[in-house]
Amino acid sequence: MTVDIVCATLDGGRYLADFLRSLAAQRHADWRLWVRDDGSTDDTVAIIEEAAASDPRVRLLHRGGPPSGAARAFSWLLTQLPNDAQYVMCADQDDVWLPDKIERTLEAMRAAQDGRAGEPILVHTDLQVVDAELKPLHPSFWQYAGLDPDATTLRRIVVRNVVTGAAMMINRPLLELAGPPPADAYFHDWWLACAAAAFGRIVAVRVATALYRQHGANAVGARDASLTPARLPAAAVAATRARAKFRRELRASATQANAFLQQFGDRLNADDRRFLDEYSSIPDRRLLSRKLALLRYRAIPGDGFLRTLGVVLRG
């Protein structure tokens, strides 16, 4: 069974070869890699072209800038997949896949699909957090970032995405349902997770299947959500920046919620429509109303409840 993998690249030459080697070493060898380069100025394109010349499973579909951003690049790639693409994964240029990543994820997907023909399904796994040199930082990204992989109702996903693009697989029904994420989608993986939560299922596999490299230039990256005594001084220093970032993420998630409502409103039940309408209005509410709504909906698009609560209480 062929698995199609999409990968957006930009100046990833330092790490890209590691990813390509890990892909070539997969136990499940029936895959195709579709790459969009967003205008790299290093040797990224040369590395991809060399890989494509030696392995017909690797295809470079686009090269050149200006950069469109990771979300737009991945959205474009999803529109370029062939009609026979049944299972789709996303890959980050700087990660390293463990040898059983495709095999294990596909196995979970096929088990989830058993007897459920046509149901939109998203499967996602945990990740190991590592530094730029692949030295371990934490064995579980979910624990490191304070994520609950089972918080997958539409309301919970709209507020905080627990699905990491580089750890997910979607099936054809979900790809066709969600379509290319629109311009107002904050991230492609978040949009797909919303669609799966609303109209299908999200399945969590509690095993790490890749090394999630952190090097300071990640498009999203992992952030330690713990608030240990040792971290309190640093957390206090970063409070102002955290509040500004929280507001930006809140507005982006609210804008995405409105886009989801506009695209799928006629297919949603009345309660979900009401929630999306109310949530999308939060950034424009008066201060007290906004704070109450944030607490009501457990609106935590940031790093963790305690830190976010502080952001809410201070404005």
Residues contacting 105, CB < 8 A, separation 6+: 89, 123, 125, 169, 205, 209
241 and 202 fall within a common domain: no
Tokens of 27: 């136990």
Count how many domains the chain has: 2
CATH, residue 139: 3.90.550.10
127 neighbors 164 (Cβ within 8 angstroms): yes
179 and 234 fall within a common domain: no
Looking at the domain assignment, is residue 221 inside a domain?
no
234 and 166 fall within a common domain: no
54 and 164 fall within a common domain: yes
The one-digit pLDDT tens for each residue of the chain (315 residues) are 999 999 999 999 999 999 999 999 999 999 999 999 999 999 999 999 999 999 999 999 999 988 889 999 999 999 999 999 999 999 999 999 999 999 999 999 999 999 988 999 999 999 999 999 999 999 999 999 999 999 999 999 999 999 999 999 999 999 999 988 999 999 999 999 999 999 999 999 999 999 999 987 555 555 555 556 665 566 556 666 777 887 898 899 999 999 999 999 999 999 999 999 999 998 888 776 767 767 776 655 444 454 455 444 544
Looking at the domain assignment, is residue 222 inside a domain?
no
Q: Which of 155, 182, 213 is the last residue of a domain?
A: 213
Q: Which of 156, 184, 213 is the last residue of a domain?
A: 213
Q: Where would I find the H helices in 183-304?
A: 188-199, 232-237, 239-264, 270-280, 287-296
Please tell me whether residue 218 adopts helix, strand or coil conformation. coil
58 neighbors 33 (Cβ within 8 angstroms): yes
Looking at the domain assignment, is residue 137 inside a domain?
yes
233 and 206 fall within a common domain: no
HEC assignment per residue over 114-157: CCCCCCCEEEEEEEEEECCCCCEEECCHHHHHCCCCCCCCHHHH
CA–CA separation, 113 vs 103, rounded Å? Answer: 15
298 and 181 fall within a common domain: no
Backbone angles phi, psi at 102, to 5 degrees: -65, -45
Please tell me whether residue 26 adopts helix, strand or coil conformation. coil
Looking at the domain assignment, is residue 45 inside a domain?
yes
Domain that holds residue 25: 3-213
Estimate the crossing angle of helix 44-54 against helix 13-24, to 10 degrees.
20
